[in-house]
Amino acid sequence: MDSISSHHVPPGFERELNNVAIDFDGVIHNFDKGWHNGTCYGDPLPGSLEAIRALSEKYNIIIFTAKAKSNRPLVNGKTGTELVKEWLEKYNVMQYVQEITSEKPRAKIYIDDNGYRFNSWDKTLKDLEEIL
């Protein structure tokens, strides 16, 4: 039997092996007001813009954020995706981004401030007791 690997994908998905998915709030900008009023207000976190530029030389950059959900109310007449795009354009990094999405994209790695590295369910349940 052949071993299963995350390095093998169905035909047509080969390009997605090169995706790096980066969370927007708290990873690219400081998110210092929390949910606030739905706008994209924060300043770039140190190194975030340079990292996007550098990673884009080798990887497809996908920004994921709940702000991009299609059922999210408009803010100042704009969708969350439009607001995120404007913020990225303001800081001159949108040209390095392949996509902005609210869905978990196929990716080589996810960079997220609220992520948890899974190893086993025993460890996860113990860790969650301490964290939550």
> Is pLDDT above 80 for 103?
yes
Residue whose C-alpha is closest to residue 31's, from 100, 105, 103, 84: 84
**Per-domain residue ranges for the chain?**
15-131
Instruction: Point out which residues pair with 44 in neighbouring strands.
Output: 29
> Is pLDDT above 90 for 94?
yes
The mean pLDDT value for 59-65 works out to 97
Q: What is the pTM of this model?
A: 0.84
Torsions phi, psi for 63 (to 5 deg): -95, 125
Separation CA 65–CA 23 (nearest Å): 6
In CATH, the number for domain 15-131 is 3.40.50
Taking CA atoms, 57 is separated from 12, 22, 95, in Å, by: 22, 15, 12
Residue 9 has a pLDDT of: 64
> Is pLDDT above 50 for 86?
yes
Dihedral sign for Cα 121, 122, 125, 130, please.
Answer: negative
The mean pLDDT value for 57-63 works out to 97
> Is pLDDT above 60 for 117?
yes
